Amino acid sequence: MTMCRGSILGALLMLLTGAALSQGELMVYPKEGQSKEQQDKDNYECYGWAKGQSGFDPMAVPTATAPPPQQQAPKGGVGRGALRGAAVGGIVDGSDGAKTGAAAGAVIGGARRADQRRQQAAAQQQWEQQQAQQYQAGRSSYNRAYAACMEGRGYSVQ
């Protein structure tokens, strides 16, 4: 269980970091001949201001805003379905019924487990997409605030 959560969080971190890199960093150019020292000072002050305005810190490690979907205990399965089918078939029709019931139960149990896996994968994918969208929205809000601050100080921001 811990290994599964660790791999999920690792995948999320990679997903969010990849989203940040694909969005790209802003390019800042001094329009009014500001020195490197002045640009560094303005950059630091605008970073703090934009972080406060947006609630987003681009220097922080991305984290999930909600826990991943809880994995359910396995339902069904070929073996479990075969045993149940054999039991029911044996009660209804003896040994021939047990064989038929086992085969039918195996098919139904396997289908039930496969359906559960598909549902869990879809829930996981939806959660990952929501996390990436929230991260990108926060990053976009930060970028807009940072650009406004730097432009107000005489820089061209792209």
Residue 37 pLDDT exceeds 60? yes
Q: How many domains does the chain have?
A: 1
* Amino acid type, 51: K
- Quote the pLDDT of residue 108: 75
Average pLDDT over residues 72-84: 60
Among the ranges given (48-52, 88-92, 98-102), the one the predictor scored with the smallest mean pLDDT: 88-92
Please give the residue that has the higher pLDDT: either 107 or 57: 57
Residue 87 pLDDT: 56
**Could you identify the residue written with the tokens 């970091």?**
17
pLDDT above 70: residue 63 = yes
pTM of this prediction? 0.60
In sequence order, which residues have a C-beta less than 8 Å from that of residue 140 and are 6 or more positions away? 23
- Predicted confidence at residue 23, as pLDDT, reads 45
The residues near 59 (Cβ < 8 Å, ≥ 6 apart) are 47
pLDDT above 50 for 21? no
Task: Look at residue 133 in the predicted model and tell me its pLDDT.
Answer: 92
Q: Is the pLDDT of residue 85 over 90?
A: no
Q: What percent of the chain shows pLDDT beyond 90?
A: 41
pLDDT at residue 144, rounded to an integer = 96
Segment 65-91 shows an average pLDDT of 64
88, 152 contact by CB (below 8 A): no
- Domain with 6, as residue range(s), is 2-157
Per-residue pLDDT tens digits for 93-143: 556 666 676 666 667 777 777 888 888 889 889 999 999 999 999 999 999
Query: Number of helices and strands (H, E) in the chain?
Result: 3, 2
